[in-house]
Amino acid sequence: MKKYTYSAKRSDNPNRWYVVNAEGKVLGRLASEIAARLKGKHNPLYTPHVDMGDSIVVINADKIVLTGRKWEQKIYYRHSGYVGGLKEINAQKLHEKRPEDMVRFAVKGMLPKNRLGRQMIKKLKVYAGDQHPHEAQQPEALEI
């Protein structure tokens, strides 16, 4: 009797859409659940080298919660590529300017750092308010 391990293909996964309401949710806990969904770890056919995840729409990203003193102490860095081009911004200022980026950066840090991770992050859509333009995909509400 020949035994083998089934390796799923991308065509085996029906890409489903979910809406997550981030209002009152802690950033890191929310991001870890979203990252697991984007990877497809909830799926019984999970295969590490195949994108088996779903598409996630996050609304109310401007109402996210950070614990402790992270609003003042958490620093986000970026570099222009030039000498002395390191820029930094704390969480409170980033939240005022672009609250969607806080969720996007947190989830991106939990995904693989390769072309598969870059493919997964494209399926994450983040919006500051409670409106989103993805009604045509008929997303289901996902409680996290």
Summarised one tens digit per residue, pLDDT across range 60-113 is 999 999 999 999 999 999 999 999 999 999 999 999 999 999 999 999 999 999
Place of tokens 């309401």: 21
Q: Is residue 4 part of a domain?
A: no
Q: Is residue 83 part of a domain?
A: yes
Rounded Cα distance, 131 and 144, in Å: 19
> In this structure, what token pair is assigned to residue 132?
């989103």
Contacts of 89 by beta carbon, 8 Å cutoff, 6+ apart: 75, 76, 97
Q: Is residue 23 part of a domain?
A: yes
Q: Is residue 6 part of a domain?
A: no
What pLDDT, on a 0 to 100 scale, did the predictor assign at position 10? 86
Could you tell me the CATH number of the domain that includes residue 97? 3.90.1180.10
Sign of torsion over alpha carbons 132, 136, 141, 144: negative
Range of the domain at 131: 15-141
Rounded Cα distance, 67 and 70, in Å: 6
Rounded Cα distance, 47 and 129, in Å: 34
> Which tens digit of pLDDT belongs to each residue from 2-15?
778 888 898 888 88
> In 1-144, which ranges are continuous DSSP H helix?
27-39, 70-73, 91-97, 99-108, 115-121
Rounded Cα distance, 127 and 61, in Å: 6
**Domain tally for the chain?**
1
Q: Is residue 5 part of a domain?
A: no
